[in-house]
Amino acid sequence: MSKIFASARLFAACSFILALSFNAFVPQAEAGAQRKKVVSKKAESKKSTAKTAQADKKKDERGKNARRDDKRTDKKNRQDKRAETAKRGKADRDAKGKDAKGKDKATNKKMTARERRAEANRRAAERRAEIARREAERREAIRRAEIARLARLAAIRAIDQGLRNETQANITRDDTTGEDLEVRRVAVGALGNHAGSIVVMNPQTGRVYAAINQDWALRRGFKPCSTIKLVTGLAGLTYNVIPPAETVEAGGNRYRLDLTDSLAYSNNVYFQNVGGRVGFELMMKTARELGLGEATGINHANESPGRVPVFKSGYAVNHMSSHGDDFAVTPLQLANMTSALTNGGKLLVPHLPRTPQEDTNFKTEVRRQLTFTKDAMQRLQPGMIGAVNYGTAKRAYDVTQTIAGKTGSCIDNGTWVGLFTSVAPIHEPRLAVTVVLKGSGERGKTAAAVAGNVFRNLNTRFGVVNPGAKPVQLATTPRPKLPAAAAAAISDEDAEEGDSAASVDALGTPDNNASGVNQSGVRTVLKPVARPMPNTPISNTPSAAPQPATNVAPATVPGATTNAPDGKFGKSGERPRRVTPLAPTN
């Protein structure tokens, strides 16, 4: 029995163990099966997604192909339609033409000779009437244009007359106390009927001999135009950006210009390049040191300090350096600046003695000594002399003395302004004359002519120093004369002349003296075109022996020339520099 119970207990224990094992295995098997199902579903989902994407891609391709085919079909249909329309139009025109010809032939066959002549006469009368109508319209257009031109001229003449009236009224109000009455009489006579102002002063002492139209001379600022090139040239020399020669293009040809000829002919491109290299800040530093933008300190009330630009960049700096954009200078400031450039660098305080005692006790007052080197200032003088001898200021030429100056022409506030600032005699300056004219016909060369009259009429008093002394000789370099056509091509100061109609139309257009165009901003069609000359290298030969002067002591300025008495360049045909034209480039 005991064995039986033992076996039963053993069987029960085994059964219990088996039951426990089975219960543990079943959940694991179920979990494995569940995982297999999940993996299978994911695989099926991926296959389904891939099939869907492939189907969508094929559908998109079929759609693109269909749209492309539709576009091609539409384009072909439009082309076919246009061709068909053109064909029908041509057929219709041909048919109409044939019908018209047939009708004309039928009409002509039905008309008698008399009727045909009458029809021809009628058509000729219609043609004559049409021609007369067009001629009447043309004449009416010309008449209206002439009326408009005369109206513009009348307005310009009214403005000019108003400026002249203002000038005469201002002159009558000038305070002449302490002025040199002889100098005033000569200056007023030289100004004549021009609207403008003249300042005559001693460039060595600062004494003002006469200020004609003092309201303009001391209290009104004008655009300096090309006279600003003196500032640009000095800045270029001071900061070592002046090249030995600059290649410029004019009249379809290329020329090599140096500083002397660029000043003499007032070439814009040269000074625009120099000003661009100098930069705005250094240009303003030079201008301010020369007295621009500040009152001179003359003993007159309400003197204008003028104006200098606040800021410019890019090409505006280049254009400012040749035109004086946004500058405003008084005639007195120009005269004082020119004096400083020729008296050794002393910027003076102009003074007008008010009493005989003040005249007796007059002393020169130096505002400041310029920091520029004397060599830099002297290198400007040959170009200023060249302007008078053969350049833009030829009308100021005086056979008895050497005059150095710079012209300027531009439009300021809708009206032409002509400027000329100068000193003479250059080897020992005794007179500084600055002329500013305003009006439709005023240019730098007109101002130079006025200044020339002042110099010539005062020559016996101020022009010749120590007549019995041996003249100081000036070393010059012989150069061939520059052809007139080439000189006209490179001279931007002369380019603005054109014809009178162009000058009239230029008024009111505040764009002046741009490069390659005239100072009205319009390229003149009358400008001479220079004929190209053979290539001639710049000569490096030493200067020839100086020739004796005949009338007056010329300046001891290297590279400059005297005002020759025999023609524009004298007997020897000498001048400070020349322009060497290069072969035209493709």
Quote the crossing angle between the two packed helices 229-238 and 315-323, to the nearest 10°.
120
Topology of 174-360+379-463+475-582 in CATH?
A: Beta-lactamase (3.40.710)
Residue matched to tokens 């029960």: 12
Note whether 404 and 488 are within 8 A (CB).
no
The residues spanned by each domain of the chain are 174-360+379-463+475-582
The CA distance from 552 to 400, in Å, is 6
3-state SS, residue 214:
helix
Query: What's the pTM value of the predicted model, to 2 decimals?
Result: 0.65
Burial of 415 from C-beta contacts in 10 A (0-12 / 13-18 / 19+): middle
The CA distance from 374 to 378, in Å, is 6
Taking 80 as the threshold, does the pLDDT of residue 208 lie above it?
yes
pLDDT at 88: 84
Mean pLDDT of 348-375: 88
Is the pLDDT higher at 514 or at 278? 278
HEC string of 220-277 equals CCECCHHHHHHHHHHHHHHCCCCCCCEEEEECCEEEEECHHHHHHHCCHHHHHHHHHH
Note whether 217 and 335 are within 8 A (CB).
no
**Averaged pLDDT of the chain:** 79
pLDDT at 33: 76
pLDDT at 583: 39
Confidence of residue 525 (pLDDT cuts 50, 70, 90): very low
Note whether 494 and 392 are within 8 A (CB).
yes
Taking 80 as the threshold, does the pLDDT of residue 15 lie above it?
no
Structure tokens, 248: 């410029």
pLDDT tens per residue, range 284-343: 999 999 999 999 999 888 999 999 999 999 999 999 999 999 999 999 999 999 999 999
Which range is least confidently modeled, 160-174, 426-440, 571-585? 571-585
Mean pLDDT of 148-152: 94
The CA distance from 127 to 123, in Å, is 6
Both ends of the chain: CA-CA distance in Å? 136
Bridge partner residues of 307 (DSSP): 328
Mean pLDDT of 81-89: 86
> What percent of the chain stands above pLDDT 90?
48
Mean pLDDT of 503-512: 41
